[in-house]
Amino acid sequence: MSLAIHIHPSTSASASAGAVCEGIPDSTSFAAQASRGTRYLMLAVALAGGVVIEATARHHAMTDTLMPVLLGMLFFAGGLLSTWSPCGYSCLSLLRPVGDRYRARAVLGYLPTLGVHAAGYALGALVLGGLLGAVGVWLLPAVPRQALLWLLGAMGLAYGLHQLGFLRVPYPQRRAQVPHDARYRFPMWVIGLLYGFALGMDYLTYVQTPILYIATGSALLSGNLMWALAAIGIFNLGRFLPMLVNLLPVSDRAVQRWLARHQEHAVLLDGGLLIMAGAAALFLVLQ
């Protein structure tokens, strides 16, 4: 089957969105669109959720098994939220099935492109996760579990408050998306793989969720190569899944409009998840 990819007529709008996103604003600009009362409510709910999680884990003596599961869920949610924006989707909208109308033959012909794109994410996870894990195992001293929970908990709270617009924390990111002009310079199957690898490396493009930092810190300081690979791999799985929207009979413009309407909700949810996870980790250490 051919690896041909169609540049959808609405892609021009997506490409322009990507051009604007070269100077991507900090996500706090979206959180500021919500009222202060809404943000305080999210903060209170998230803190309460962290207390409930910690108390439940402690009551059932499931701390050692539940925390890795919750971290995995946090990383997966972070991956999904990383493309919950017009800028985040703009690069994905460049990879579309052939034809203006969705037909079974076009979708089937598109599946190999989707496959190599997924392989790019997997390769990025192997490279980044393997590098972080190797540095953690061979170059860094072993970090006690309590100290790791303190660090990750503090990061979660700080960046959660950052996302909700209550605190300014350094947010080092490369404020750019994948090169949209690559579609004019490479075969289309190469573009799918290239975009997947660039997005799968996480730090080569802008990622609007600080959950990436929690995943990175966990991978780097865990002292466990398999956990490092799993942490980045789970995050990348969440990043890849929005690509599946291209299998549905939904136009680029409809997706972009929906994302633009709900971007502030994504940032608020992101902040809430970070605070909930950070509070659970810190309460666990303090008890």
Write out pLDDT tens, residues 26-66. 565 566 677 889 999 999 999 999 999 888 877 666 767 77
- pLDDT score recorded for residue 30: 63
Residue 206 has pLDDT above 70, yes or no: yes
* Residue 216, domain member (yes or no): yes
Could you give the number of structural domains in the chain?
1
DSSP string, the chain: -----B--TTHHHHHHHHHHGGGPPPTHHHHTTS-HHHHHHHHHHHHHHHHHHHHHHHHTT-HHHHHHHHHHHHHHHHHHHHT-SHHHHHTGGGSB-SSSS--HHHHHHHHHHHHHHHHHHHHHHHHHHHHHHHHHHHTSPPPPHHHHHHHHHHHHHHHHHHHTTS-----------S-GGGGGTS-HHHHHHHHHHHHHTSSSS----THHHHHHHHHHHS--HHHHHHHHHHHHHHHHGGGGGGGSS--HHHHHHHHHHHHHHHHHHHHHHHHHHHHHHHHHHH-
- pLDDT score recorded for residue 114: 87
Assign 16 a pLDDT band (cuts: 50, 70, 90): very low
* Residue 198, domain member (yes or no): yes
* Residue 123, domain member (yes or no): yes
Assign 75 a pLDDT band (cuts: 50, 70, 90): very high
* Residue 5, domain member (yes or no): no
pTM score, whole prediction: 0.85
* Residue 235, domain member (yes or no): yes
What is the domain extent for residue 169?
A: 11-286
* Residue 6, domain member (yes or no): no
Assign 91 a pLDDT band (cuts: 50, 70, 90): low
* Residue 3, domain member (yes or no): no
* Residue 210, domain member (yes or no): yes
